[in-house]
Amino acid sequence: MNTKNEIDVANLRCDNKSVAFISKKLAMNKEKIERIITQWIIDTDNLIKESVSGHKVQKIPDLNSVREKIMAHPNVLPLKGEVLDYVALNHSNHHDRIMDCIRFHILRSL
């Protein structure tokens, strides 16, 4: 279950906002935000690794298009096409804001 804090953090990460910006905007401790994001990484890492295993990237995904696809399906993230290509290219970058957004939506869709 997603807490209000998680949802607020996720919405801002999906808007490509930094942890420092989110901290100021939500009047929330940076460490708390980082703990939330770290938990998303822990909870989704294996699923993401399985999803991208053997996947051949079709094309370099457009960030805005990926964001639109994620936001168009807030409760069921389609891990295919451009979104899967983006995940395959960026899943190991634990500082990628859009990956944080994707991780949140993966958890929400479970």
Cβ neighbours of 24 (radius 10 Å):
12
Report which residue type is found at 59. Answer: K
The pTM assigned to this predicted structure is: 0.94
Written as six digits, the tokens of 87 are 């995940």
Can you give the residue range of the structural domain that contains 103?
A: 4-109
Number of domains in the chain: 1
**Calpha distance 26→108 (Å, rounded):** 21
Q: What is the pLDDT along the chain (110 residues), one digit of tens a residue?
A: 579 999 999 999 999 999 999 999 999 999 999 999 999 999 999 999 999 999 999 999 999 999 999 988 877 777 899 999 999 999 999 999 999 999 999 999 88
Nearest to 83 by CA among 68, 66, 98, 62: 66
